[in-house]
Every structure is written in C-alpha cells, then in structure tokens.
C-alpha cells in the first residue's frame, strides 16, 4: 500500500459519482440500481436457482396488476414481521 501513502486526493464530499443529492429522484435511482443488481445475481448462470427464479418471474408476469400489487404488499408485510421478530 505504499502508493496510498503519497496519494493526495479530494475529500469524499467533492466526489461526483453521478448520484443526485438525497431526494425522491435519488431514491428512485437507487431502487432501479438495486433492481438491476438483484436481477443480475438471481439470473446469473452460476446461480443454481436461476432457472427456478426465471420461471417464477414469468409466472408473476402473467398475473393481473392488482394481484401483483397485493402479492408485493403481503411480501413486504411478512418481511417487516420477520425483521421485528
């Protein structure tokens, strides 16, 4: 790590990483980024459950919008209950 001893860089507050300051837009950007990462991980060829995840996603896509929303809301409620326990 000798190269880091002589590094004179900028503070983190001056970095421009392309993410907007905290706002609704930032939340949306981060949500989309999380979605992209999760999709890549779940469907990657090295994931032994990738085929099952793809089949479940295709089944979910066939469901009506209201039912999808209901499924998602129930999943979030269950997750919140697990986290509280």
Q: What is the pTM of this model?
A: 0.52
Residue 22 DSSP one-character state:
S
Give residue 7's pLDDT. Answer: 61
Strands (E), the chain: none
Phi/psi at 34 (5° precision): -60, -40
pLDDT by residue for the chain (85 residues), tens only, comes to: 556 566 667 777 777 777 667 788 888 888 999 999 999 998 899 999 999 999 999 999 999 999 999 999 999 999 999 999 8
Give residue 1's pLDDT. Answer: 54
Note whether residue 3 is domain-resident: no
Note whether residue 8 is domain-resident: no
Pairwise CA distance, residues 42 & 49, whole Å: 7
Number of domains in the chain: 1
Note whether residue 39 is domain-resident: yes
Note whether residue 68 is domain-resident: yes
Question: C-alpha angle with apex 59: 71 to 57, nearest 5 degrees?
Answer: 80
Note whether residue 74 is domain-resident: yes
- Residue 50 tokens, joined: 């990738």
Note whether residue 41 is domain-resident: yes
Q: Domain range holding 29?
A: 19-84
- Residue 25 tokens, joined: 């837009």
């Amino acid at each position: 790590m000798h190269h880091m001893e002589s590094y004179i860089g900028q503070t983190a507050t001056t970095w421009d990483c392309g993410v907007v300051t905290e706002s609704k837009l930032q939340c949306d950007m981060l949500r989309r980024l999380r979605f992209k990462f999760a999709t890549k991980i779940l469907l990657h060829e090295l994931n032994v459950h990738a085929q099952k995840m793809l089949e479940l996603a295709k089944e979910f896509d066939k469901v009506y919008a209201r039912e999808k929303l209901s499924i998602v809301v129930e999943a979030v409620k269950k997750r919140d209950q697990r986290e509280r326990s």
